[in-house]
Structure 1
Amino acid sequence: MIAQFINSTLRKVPAWPLYVLGAVPPAWLFYSGVTGGLGVDPVKEMEHQMGLWGLWLIIAGLCVTPLRRWGNINLMKFRRPIGILTFFYIAGHLLIWLVLDVQIPSQILADIIKRPYVTIGMGAFVLMIPLVVTSNNWSVRKLGAAKWQKLHKLTYLAAILGGLHFVWLVKGWQIEPMIYTAVIVGLVALRWIPKRKRVAVAA
């Protein structure tokens, strides 16, 4: 009954407002950085916050299928905007690092090669590019549903790499990034757990 109520309510809610809502946090973050509201190192704070929000969106996107499969809650129409917003948040995280933090091209290249957390993070971002490019109905028709679904399984690898990027980024074994990574791995693993068929019980 609860799932039916949620689904009937969400049918009346369009997906496009997510794009508008998704633009608010980065705008607020930029404003806070410019006006001195992010402390002594606003660039690092913006960089970290955009990456963290990106992880939240990755987890939100990974929750859609398990909620439908085991909770009968259908959020499928929101998965595309969540995925697109995820890409742009991670792209913002990357751009802040490139343009405002490191800035020097030779140092950027050296970091990508020598620092594992940068290498892993860059790999995750590269995997996301074909996903966002094909996040439209034209690509589904052009590729065919089977090939499109196969391509978008890259989401799982990109998500896991994103979690590992966070784990490797922080100094020492901190609990927060490990929790995020464990949640991501758990949500990905749920895809391969077969759903038990309900057995009808005679009255």
Structure 2
Amino acid sequence: MHKITIAIDGFSSTGKSTIAKQLAAALGYIYVDTGAMYRAVTLYALHHGLISEDGFKASELCLKLKDIQLGFLPNEQTGRSDMLLNGKNVETEIRTMQVSRFVSQVATVKAVREKLVAIQQEMGKAKGIVMDGRDIGTVVFPHAELKLFMTASADARATRRYRELLERGDNITYGEVLENVQKRDYIDSNREESPLRRADDAILFDNSDMGLKEQFERIYNLAIRIIEKL
């Protein structure tokens, strides 16, 4: 059976990663969480005092990109892959609200995007890959056989994210999460370098009122139809 490339883009907290992981597992494909890669670079910037509420030393981060090594480590307990930053497992650290507050700023930096896009394109050369992010269908894999653009209302997305953070034990308010979602939407959509936008041939997928099971079944069937036509 032929393998294809599946590109999933969309706004934050639309469940891109969850669906991408399920889809990759069902098809026997490789899953790559590009958002985790940008979060890892953001974590590096935070640890090295390059970004904070007081400002962002973007030029200094660019000079240090050569020192940043990224990788994925299979996690037998979760069945997924954890993010590695310079050999250290940072999967838990990159999911905090502190990282969420700054990741969109880091993702606007051209040199950061160029470095990560090059890594992502190398990963996808053999096809059989599901990748989610903000510019997968427009920049990383413009010729992907299946492109999805996922969206949902800001309230729906903030509610999902808020519940996740509460379950993890984070001390956070719904208002803070909603503000972060709206701020990231604005930065992602208005940045100069690879702004978030729907590719012309991407299928718009609004899951505001849709459960995970229904989402997965619809997207899985789309993928199967494309694969069977090859």
Shared fold (TM-score greater than 0.5)? no
TM-score range, shorter chain: 0.3 to 0.5
Query: Going by fraction, where is helix more abundant, 1 or 2?
Result: 1
Query: Going by fraction, where is strand more abundant, 1 or 2?
Result: 2
